[in-house]
Amino acid sequence: MHMMVVHMMAELESIRSRWVAAAAAGKSFAEVGGLWGTVNEQVSVAARAGAADTTMIDVAPDDGSDDERLWELFRERANSLGVTDTTCVQGSIDDADTVRRVGRFDAVCCSGVIYHCPEPLHTLRQLSAITRETLILGSATIPEKISSSAGSFSVAPGAALLVPALTESHRVVLGEWLREVGGGEALGVNYPLQTEWELDDNTAWWWFFTRDYVAAMLRLAGFEVDNIASEWEGRATLYLARSMGSAPPHLD
């Protein structure tokens, strides 16, 4: 990965951790979808900031399958950082049963999830259902002009691209746009799916959102957007949002 991109991502991760610490101090905290990558999880950040309690919610199986290793890695990391009392919940945030089981939290963090969800507005409404005060949301995003060695194209402000509907030329441009900064494999974009597009597949990249599109969805889902931070040449964006009617968190 390019040195400049590493610096940009480190800066964005620092912002996310600062927002999480401010929102979670003395409050209940949950992270949704934080197992992938393990070291990027925010439960330990919230715990060390003085969260009253912490919960990890993730769709990864916890049933002895190969994917169970993600839960093991998370528990090992949490233990190594002195975080030993986190509640672990296996389930999809898109499922009504998961929302019923976990209840509500003062602060919620969810990064790298919504563009893997076929119905992202539904996902955000589910996040709203479990968020009492503050949501820190991270998503892959696109600028209004995408250029790579494979070509370029423009999208309207506030637009979104549904990956299964893309032309092959647009798919190639987007795939190279990700690869050129070390973006790796994006299933359905620059890496082939093993099956057809299926609505219960949360590994594929279903969407590319502009920054304003995500902000609009947050408002529709019941949030006020207080702050936005975007890095990696427009490829990643963080949103600090609060449930309508709740006071903004204090940021040092």
| Structure confidence at residue 178 (pLDDT) | 86
Report residue 104: phi and psi, to 5°.
Answer: -120, 155
Q: Tens digits of per-residue pLDDT, 48-102?
A: 999 999 999 999 987 666 666 899 999 999 999 999 999 999 999 999 999 999 9
pLDDT in tens, 164-220: 999 999 999 999 988 887 766 788 888 888 788 998 888 899 999 999 999 999 999
C-alpha angle 74/80/86, rounded to 5°? 50
The pLDDT assigned to 245 comes to 66
Is residue 248 over pLDDT 50? yes
- Return the higher-pLDDT residue of 231 and 140: 140
pLDDT confidence tier of residue 249, bands split at 50, 70 and 90:
low
pLDDT for residue 252 is more than 70: no
pLDDT, position 203? 87
Task: Write the DSSP string, 79-118.
Answer: HHTT----EEEES-TTSHHHHHHH--EEEEEEES-GGGSS
The answer to whether residue 16 scores a pLDDT higher than 50 is yes
Per DSSP, 219 falls in state H
Q: Where in the chain are the domains?
A: 3-140+205-243
Is residue 225 scored above 50 in pLDDT? Answer: yes
Strands, E assignment, the chain:
28-32, 53-58, 87-90, 105-111, 131-142, 145-148, 151-154, 160-162, 207-210, 223-231, 236-243
CB 58 within 8 A of CB 90: yes
- Averaged pLDDT, 229-244: 87
Please check whether residue 127 is in contact with residue 32, taking contact to mean a CB–CB distance below 8 angstroms: yes
Looking at residue 87, its pLDDT comes to 97
What percentage of the chain reaches a pLDDT higher than 70? Answer: 89
Three-state DSSP state, 208: strand
Is the pLDDT confidence value at 2 over 70?
no
Is residue 25 pLDDT above 80, yes or no?
A: yes
Phi, psi torsion values for 251, nearest 5 degrees: -110, 125
CATH superfamily of 3-140+205-243: Vaccinia Virus protein VP39 (3.40.50.150)
Question: Are 81 and 48 in contact, with CB atoms under 8 Å apart?
Answer: yes
CB neighbours of residue 4 within 10 Å: 11
pLDDT value for 1: 35
Which phi-psi region, left, alpha or beta, contains residue 138 (left: φ > 0; alpha: ψ -120 to 50)? beta
Q: What pLDDT is recorded for position 62?
A: 77
CB 221 within 8 A of CB 166: no
Pairing status of strand 53-58 against strand 87-90 = parallel
Summarised one tens digit per residue, pLDDT across range 100-155 is 999 999 999 999 999 999 999 999 999 999 999 999 999 999 999 999 999 999 99
Residue found by looking up tokens 């820190």 in the block: 136
User: What's the pLDDT at 33?
Assistant: 96
